[in-house]
Amino acid sequence: MPNDANTSGVLEEALERLHASGPEIYEWRLTNHAPMVVEALATHGRSAAVHRWLDAYQAKLDDFPTPVSPVTDANWREALGDTRRGADWIGYFLRAIDERPWRDVLAEWWPRLLPGIYGGATHPVIRIGHAVRVITESGENTPRLAEVAHGLGYWAARYQPVSGVAPLAGAPDADGALEAVPAIRDFQGGFRDRLPRVDRLPVWSPDVTDPDEARRRLTELVGASTRRYATHGHGDETMLVHAATAPNAVLRTLPALPRALWVPSLHAAWTASAAVTSMYAPAEPVPYVPTTGITAEEVLERALAHGDEHVIKFADTAVDVGDEQSLGAALRAVELSEPLSY
């Protein structure tokens, strides 16, 4: 599959265009997904579609937020999780990455931010995963490094930990562990309202200590959660995408992190995926109808024609997994979701 992210220059143009916008669409308290989508399109050889897609999405975007007060090495703890401080946090990380290697900044802040992986409905870590992928696969440049800073800043401003979650019996594999997640029923509200109701989750992979085994288990989780969408995505066609894309973002970031951080990254990714599964699980699954003969290229084309940001990002993850049911799950997202008008 062609990757023109490192040759066309279109991704850089799009990121520079997007960095004038805020990380959220404040009228609806929704995330600006455009940086993630344009990276996925460029990485999969579809740079020619980037600006056309962005033109259609642009009307949703807000201006860059107004700074409040600079975040510094001395005061960052009091600013962590302060949603008013998005511009301050992005400014902090732009300065940090200008002064130090980006991998050093990421390694310092990853363990600080990981307990708050749920913040922003897991979108900040997903944005980091996209930014890290294009740098590690296609090289670094100024707009891509700025995108890392914007992602880290968004995560710090939306940092949201969860505590008091009781452990439940798990399962030996990711499929079984996801099946054991208790569903939250009869509750209305958005992600931030539902998250405090997650008070029980199965334990999975608690005995993992080897970094390579952590990466293998994380890969297993991404596959299981992607395939599960094919039968459970109707619980919430948008939010259940994140049960797969959040752990995949962590998986994509592992190569840029010290190996000592891989095991805690696995555990954080599991709790995030399980929490999303708990909050949006349907009452009953639907049977999976196999989709024979579909290719990754066809799935990406269907997702791009549909245009919804979550559909494109989920198709990107499904192509990473690559098996027939995962590609079928991406088509299920196309079927369930409202398309973007081009």
- Could you read off the pLDDT of 186-205 as tens digits, one per residue? 777 889 889 999 999 999 99
Taking the C-alpha atoms of residue 167 and residue 196, their distance in angstroms, rounded to an integer, is 15
Hey, is 18 helix, strand or coil?
helix
Q: Is 40's pLDDT higher than 80?
A: yes
* Residue with token string 């699980």: 281
Q: Regarding predicted confidence, which is higher, 170 or 210?
A: 210
Least confident of 83-92, 207-216, 288-297, 328-337: 288-297
Q: Tokens in use for 280?
A: 């949006």
Q: Is 320's pLDDT higher than 80?
A: yes
User: How far, rounded to the nearest angstrom, does the alpha carbon of residue 29 sit from its chain's CA centroid?
Assistant: 17
Share of residues in the chain with pLDDT > 90 (%): 90
Query: What 8-state DSSP symbol labels residue 339?
Result: P
Query: Residue 197 in contact with residue 164, Cβ under 8 Å?
Result: no
In sequence order, which ranges of the chain are alpha helices (DSSP H)?
10-18, 34-43, 50-57, 76-79, 86-99, 102-113, 123-138, 142-158, 174-179, 191-194, 211-232, 242-253, 262-280, 296-306, 309-321, 324-336
- Could you read off the pLDDT of 98-156 as tens digits, one per residue? 999 999 999 999 999 999 999 999 999 999 999 999 999 999 999 999 999 999 999 99
Query: What was the pLDDT predicted at 94?
Result: 98
Q: What is the mean pLDDT of residues 33-47?
A: 97
- Could you read off the pLDDT of 232-273 as tens digits, one per residue? 999 999 999 999 999 999 999 999 999 999 999 999 999 999
Q: What angle do CA 52, 53, 59 make, to 5 degrees?
A: 100
Q: What is the mean pLDDT of residues 14-40?
A: 90
Q: Tokens in use for 87?
A: 């511009």
Q: What is the mean pLDDT of the chain?
A: 95
Q: Is 6's pLDDT higher than 80?
A: no
- Could you read off the pLDDT of 41-89 as tens digits, one per residue? 999 999 999 999 999 999 889 999 999 999 999 999 999 999 999 999 9
* Residue with token string 């949603």: 83
Give the pLDDT band of residue 5 (cuts 50, 70, 90): low
Query: What was the pLDDT predicted at 310?
Result: 98
Q: Tokens in use for 295?
A: 């290719």
Angle between helices 211-232 and 324-336 (to 10 degrees): 50
Query: Residue 68 in contact with residue 92, Cβ under 8 Å?
Result: no
